[in-house]
Chain A
Amino acid sequence: MARLSNVVSALADPTRREIFERLAEEPRSVGALALALPISRPAVSQHLRVLKEAGLVTDRAEGTRRIYQIDPAGLGVIRQWLDRFWERSLDAFRAEADKDEGQKHKDKARKGKEEKAE
């Protein structure tokens, strides 16, 4: 299993997180990643090496290219998933809490109008 300290530091870098998320969408080659990101191929390779050492991605040869994909056995994947899960959940919570608050203000305004009308 991946060393946890590696997993954590590997995902601390925003570019590496971006690469990781893109690989979660679909396996890609270094070249494809470099095209999609504002960094050079050597830089992509460097980041992939860190992700690989952390056990977050694996690679395989396909002809002359190496295809990278995420390694779902890594704890980093679980953490990443939970991170997104809470992100989405709290967004939903905020939407609900703000809707509730907006409704309260509307009720208050309506009540105020009614009182004035009386």
Chain B
Amino acid sequence: MSAIIAPAPIRKEVRVQAAPARAFEIFTAGMSRWWLKTHTINPTKSPLKDIVMEPRRDGRWYERGEDGSECQWGKVLAWEPPTRVLLAWQISGRWRYDPNFVTEVEIRFTPDGAGTKVELEHRNLERLGDAAEAMRTAFESGWGSLLEQFATKAA
């Protein structure tokens, strides 16, 4: 590729009835309550038990399996309750934690009536590009059913 043209970041928005402080809390401290259990990268393959986001800048963000094993996902780059949290998503194209790989996921919480507008942006996706091929081969081990679907149908 001669010029690096970044793909558009992924942007999502949802409205929740909870006020910003509560929405922030459920998103961060309560991540285990809503995270899709199939989305785990733990090499021990232990079922997902908890997701921990240490509530401070440079805090770790990791999953804990039922067997007690911990697997890093990334870290907290900015911790600004109740309005913003910036995460380093350090899951590489090989679906493994890689301390040298960083894409950013920013979540903003804005008051919206009695509730909250929650905006999510996952950016620096071009960094995944180098790993696209590796990711393709990783599809077999799969991270969720859609991924497996891609692998089997596209094989």
Q: Which residues from chain A sit less than 8 Å from chain B, CB to CB?
A: 1, 3-5, 7-8, 24-27, 69-79, 81-98, 100-102
Contacts and interface: CB of A to CB of B under 8 A. Distances in A.
Given A8-B7, A26-B153, A90-B118, A96 B33 contact: yes
Interface in B116-137: 116, 118, 120, 122, 125-126, 128-129, 132-133, 135-136
Contact of B10 (A24, A26, A83, A100): A83
A72 to B, nearest CB: 5
A27 B153 CA distance: 7
Interface stretch (B23-31, B59-67, B74-82): B23-31
B139 interface: yes
Given A1-B1, A4-B7, A97 B39 contact: no
Nearest to A26: B153
Interface residues of B, number: 46
A28 to B, nearest CB: 10
Interface in B57-104: 93
17 contacts: A1-B132, A3-B1, A4-B126, A24-B153, A72-B139, A74-B132, A77-B132, A78-B93, A79-B125, A81-B146, A85-B146, A86-B122, A90-B118, A93-B34, A96-B30, A97-B22, A97-B27
A101 B35 CA distance: 18
A24 B116 CA distance: 34
A93 B146 contact: no
A101 B16 contact: yes
Query: Which of B132, B139, B150 has the most chain A CB atoms inside 10 A of its CB?
Result: B132
B39 A85 contact: yes
A24 B17 contact: no
Contact of A85 (B128, B129, B144): B144
B126 A78 contact: no
